[in-house]
């Protein structure tokens, strides 16, 4: 079947998937083509209508819209022409895993990796800290043959989705999966039965079994018989193949959930017979989707409109559609333009910053030069030597102005008187006394050992850093002491 897309398209590098608001989804079963036109409304609902090949007006409208490139078509490659495979690497690095997965896939494929198109989906970490990914692959010739079948009907799909993944995601969306339950989906079409397995909302595997459900004998069984006493050989062969596949994937007696869809669901007797035979081995309820005939087409346009998980497009490489190429180039141009604009803005900012910094530096230089000229008016000061020259000039001026500056300093006579008075209070006798502007040296005697400490504390209070030395009394009872100190600048 087929569904419709909008002119507002954006390219996704990982899945080659276009974001659309309208699209056509198309499926081919034998010589029958089913087309659905779907659109995503502003209210968040999907509206769809069937496009019949027998209706020339609607069919020509479909061909015209898709030919212009404004509306895209979604197709799918059958399960029997592709494969899905879970790969696991024994380490916990996603970046390293992405490099290793192609080599692992090459080992598992029955044909050379260079001869197929492939994608890796659902990259995630397992409970035992390993990286897992779902590989989806198809031979290049199979993809080309699938496109050829579409082209024979005048259809050129932009996206070639995977049938099994589309069936799984749509089934889980319409009928949510029960926790810890394994779901088996049987999609019954005229030529094949597609089987999809999954659990805990995670796709596991898929397979396709060739069938002749619409052959004469099978048709009689499914449409006209009222009992199952006479089962056509085609149905028994189908059951045998189904059991073979399910035995390889499931444990005997494992509880499952059966879901059936596709054109074959209309044959209720066939559905009942298949379910009864299979549920004897794997018990579980039977569920059916509404509008089962259009289920696959509905899955394709839903995945395109809502960007469902496990998005896939196997139309890649040389077969990639021109719309995707055009939007890929457009995105590259936009990215390059943004990069160029960013570079220009960065250059402009750099130039502006350089100019502003240069002006600020010039103002600072001028201010330093003016200040240096004021402090050293008669000196010729080269650039960069302002501090040194100003220090020299200030040193000369200080020597000349020292007598005048000393007038404002505290006279030594006052300090001398203070120290002598302190010594008298402590009953000290000074033998030598030296007092300079920044230093003091006193030698003398004291009547008591502790009086020397009192004297030094007094000197420290005057701003001196004092060193005290004392000697025990020998010939007399006096304590000899020496005090040396320096004036602490305040």
For 190, half-sphere exposure in the C-beta direction (CA atoms, 13 angstrom radius) is 11
Tokens of 144: 């080309």
pLDDT tens-digit series, residues 213-253? 655 445 555 444 445 556 778 888 888 999 999 999 988 87
The pLDDT value given to residue 255: 83
Range in 3-7, 275-279, 426-430, 442-446 the model is least confident about: 3-7
Whether pLDDT at 140 is above 50:
yes
Whether pLDDT at 87 is above 90:
yes
Q: What is the residue extent of each domain of the chain? A: 177-288, 353-407, 412-487
Distances, alpha carbon 451 to alpha carbons 455, 456, 470, in Å: 6, 9, 11
Residue 48 in contact with residue 298, Cβ under 8 Å?
yes
Rounded percentage of the chain residues whose pLDDT exceeds 90: 30
Q: Which residues of 214-241 are buried (b: 16+ CB within 10 A; e: fewer)?
A: beeebbebbeeeeeeeebbebbeebbeb
The pLDDT value given to residue 446: 86
Range in 289-298, 346-355, 468-477 the model is least confident about: 468-477
Protein fold of 177-288: Nucleotidyltransferase; domain 5 (3.30.420)
Distances, alpha carbon 93 to alpha carbons 129, 134, 230, 259, 296, in Å: 9, 16, 57, 37, 36
The pLDDT value given to residue 151: 92
* Confidence category of residue 13, pLDDT binned at 50, 70, 90: very low
The pLDDT value given to residue 111: 86
What is the pLDDT averaged over residues 187-195?
89
Between CA 109 and CA 84 the distance in angstroms is: 10
pLDDT tens-digit series, residues 282-331? 999 999 898 898 899 999 999 988 877 888 899 998 998 888 888 888 88
DSSP state of 178: P
Architecture of domain 412-487: 2-Layer Sandwich (3.30)
Range in 159-168, 178-187, 312-321, 368-377 the model is least confident about: 368-377
Whether pLDDT at 4 is above 50:
no
How distant is the alpha carbon of residue 466 from its chain centre? 69
State the pTM of this model.
0.68
- Which strand ranges, in their side-by-side order, compose the sheet holding 116-125? 83-89, 131-139, 116-125
Nearest CA to 138 out of 206, 202, 189 is that of 206
The pLDDT value given to residue 355: 93
The more confidently predicted of residues 230 and 420 is 420
The total of other beta-carbon atoms located within 10 Å of residue 448's CB is 13
CA angle, 228 then 230 then 234, to 5°: 95
């Amino acid at each position: 079947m087929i569904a419709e897309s909008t002119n507002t398209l954006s390219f996704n590098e990982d899945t080659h998937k276009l974001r659309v608001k309208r699209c056509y989804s198309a499926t081919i079963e034998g010589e029958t083509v089913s087309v659905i036109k779907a659109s995503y409304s502003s209210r968040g609902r999907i509206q769809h209508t069937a496009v019949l090949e027998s209706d020339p007006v609607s069919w020509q409208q479909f061909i015209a819209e898709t030919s212009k490139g404004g509306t895209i078509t979604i197709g799918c490659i059958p399960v029997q022409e592709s494969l899905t495979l879970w790969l696991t690497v024994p380490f916990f690095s996603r970046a390293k895993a992405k490099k290793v997965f192609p080599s692992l896939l090459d080992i598992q494929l029955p044909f050379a990796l260079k001869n197929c198109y492939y994608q890796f989906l659902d990259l995630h970490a397992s409970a035992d800290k390993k990286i897992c990914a779902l590989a989806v692959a198809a031979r290049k010739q199979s993809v080309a043959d699938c496109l050829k079948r579409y082209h024979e009907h005048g259809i050129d799909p932009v996206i070639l989705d995977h049938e099994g993944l589309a069936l799984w995601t749509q089934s889980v969306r319409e009928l949510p999966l029960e926790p810890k339950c394994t779901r088996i989906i049987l999609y019954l079409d005229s030529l094949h039965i597609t089987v999809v397995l999954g659990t805990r909302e995670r796709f596991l595997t898929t397979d396709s079994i060739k069938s002749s459900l619409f052959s004469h004998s099978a048709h009689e069984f499914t449409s006209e018989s009222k009992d199952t006493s006479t089962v056509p050989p085609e149905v028994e062969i189908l059951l045998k193949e189904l059991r073979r596949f399910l035995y390889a994937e499931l444990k005997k007696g494992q509880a499952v959930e059966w879901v059936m869809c596709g054109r074959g669901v209309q044959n209720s007797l066939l559905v009942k017979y298949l379910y009864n035979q299979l549920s004897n081995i794997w018990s579980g309820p039977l569920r059916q989707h509404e509008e089962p005939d259009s289920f696959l087409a509905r899955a394709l346009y839903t995945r395109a409109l809502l960007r469902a998980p496990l998005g896939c497009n196997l139309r890649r490489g040389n077969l990639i559609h021109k719309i995707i190429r055009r939007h890929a180039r457009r995105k590259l141009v936009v990215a390059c333009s943004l990069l160029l604009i960013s570079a220009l803005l960065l250059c402009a900012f750099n130039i502006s910053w350089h100019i502003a910094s240069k002006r600020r530096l010039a103002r600072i230089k001028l201010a330093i030069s003016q200040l240096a000229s004021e402090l050293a008016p008669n000196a010729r000061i080269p650039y960069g030597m302002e501090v040194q020259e100003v220090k020299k000039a200030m040193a000369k001026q200080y020597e000349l102005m020292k007598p005048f500056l000393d007038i404002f300093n505290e006279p030594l006579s006052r300090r001398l008187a203070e120290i002598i008075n302190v010594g008298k209070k402590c009953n000290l006798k000074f033998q030598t006394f030296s007092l300079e502007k920044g230093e003091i040296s006193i030698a003398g005697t004291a009547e008591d050992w502790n009086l020397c400490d009192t004297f030094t504390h007094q000197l420290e209070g005057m701003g001196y850093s004092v060193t005290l030395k004392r000697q025990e009394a020998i010939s007399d009872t006096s304590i000899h002491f020496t005090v040396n100190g320096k004036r602490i600048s305040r």
